[in-house]
Structure 1
């Protein structure tokens, strides 16, 4: 019986170990195979304007959009919906809530969408912001879909609201990915660039092209590999956390620890082609590449210089542990805090180092690619100070030029004080609490050597 239990335990252990190993290699950041596309169509009165010789903007939009929706029947991983604004009330009514989900998401609803598109008659104003906010309720909550919004408009917001802020907020909440905004000959259409990826179409031909390209982008298989270059522009840097940020919201879209195989090749990462990205290489300090140009539907290789070297600050004596503050040269912001004897990698460059020893020491160092910069401090000595009773006083370092530099204050309510000090010359200035004047201040100079224990009595 014991042998059976033992064998069973071994099997369970092996299965658990296998599942853990599998989990470690599992790709966590997966692009859903299914996509929802919400068309948000401008039905405002200005869509009646001629666009070309004998067609209005609405006629062109209807013709091309109907053809596109009809062609998407063959994609089983796609669901469509249609929202229209500015089509139910006249311009004089100035109804800034004139927006309606005319056809909700559903499988095989192409005919319903086509018929509804054909019915639309331009009438009113352009409540883009309200329509975006309402679109948050248009996408079903079921998981496993990418939500894409395509806005087709011939005008900018006419209701005094902020479509850019609304779009970014909804993207941050994960309601939809970065929208496509297709402008139909808009004057000042770049004002909508912050709503999403703005594409200007100046004719019916270009509208057909950009609308089809927008749809193709949503399905393009796009991958990226990042080459991290050393100081010789060779792709040898690796094992660094890399983050792809959605550059509209600033939030992480993909994150991974950079890897190179035995042949020195970086692995590939599948990215969603709908988004635009900033890439952050999380070195110290980080390297940021803004608005990275990623070509949809192909493999992209992105070269980012990230040359690094190492810094070690240590004591000659074991057990003398202390903290080290690291700043980029000329910058006040703290870059990193590391412990003594700990090796940290930094971008090649100049840094200012401060050791939290007594007294503190400041260094300016240059980190070189592929090299380790080591700063070594001498062993400390121990000074024990007896002040008889509590009082007020400070410890100063006496510099080579005779000037003094404050090191620390003595504890007010203690009569025994112990400090590990770097070798050097020092001075104590102290007055007991009960003393009746500053003339009772005691001054004592002393020198401490590495490894020395020194006992000092102030009175």
Structure 2
């Protein structure tokens, strides 16, 4: 037994060391409790939205995940030092965090730099590394320099990753925040509603300080401007998917071990521009970057009938005959954004019958960062076909309209016995047609065939009597 004791002690020590190694580093939220959090988005205060979404995010974290919470601006309206460590880093209780957030009453200012300093000092004192996630709906209001605080902390060897979630911020307010996340090896995320906040908080809590820093970055552009895009790497040989990233109109980083990878990059901003795939070879120690351009143009289409707005389906085909974009005009001009290039365009008129309801236009060039406008005007006339007895009684009958030259059936319907449908109206391309009528109901079995000529913009009426 005495011989076994040292062995048991050794096993316990190894187990404890392994458990410590697998323990994820803490996540520390810095929560905005400034007075502006009473502002509304989608009919709810930002405080309500942030509290609910943060509760869901924290609740979904692993059981062994330590979660801390710092809040600023929750006690004093004008005090730049109103910053409090509400939940310590050693905390594992998710409820403790969510309860603390729910009880917060936003009243104060936005001391971002001082809040970050408190967070960093706590890491330094406890010799702990952590993922810091700062949620703010405003910019620094206490003369601090958040970017400098983060830069200096990194230079002093403090181990952390900083993500910032800008909640309802305007474009001109993001510069210092993006600077700080870049210095903090993290990501700046935009959120403008509850769904967006939930999405970015989930992303931020998965991109932790424990994960290796990205070694391959992508910046996606469209016509010279940054565009939000998904980045999805896959090993070229094993086809194994690796963790991807999203650009959020900024630089996105992914970690690629040595090897060759096919990286799919797909724009996300309601564009018909397809994604692209790039191939990258990574060697040990490599750090690489690539810009991906989705330069495209706009094809603006419109359809008319006799010069008046008309509903139609429009499709764009590339040089391989693949449909790259489609739309329905609904009598209005519609825009389709596609890569620069040459296309074949087809129009199909709706609620119009004849042999000329489809139109094709070849070799339409769409140039990058430009709009090409085209339209097509269909032609039509009206044919009114009625069926009655000699005494004027309306007769139900089938009416089939055939193109006179080709014999092709282009339209068909029934007259019924209602004044609203007898005579039956047919909107037809100009031309000569053979009309075949067969009676139904009480007058079943009688037939008539006749020829009519439809002219553009005119109405021709023919009543058959039995």
Q: TM-score, normalised by structure 2?
A: 0.41
Q: TM-score, normalised by structure 1?
A: 0.41
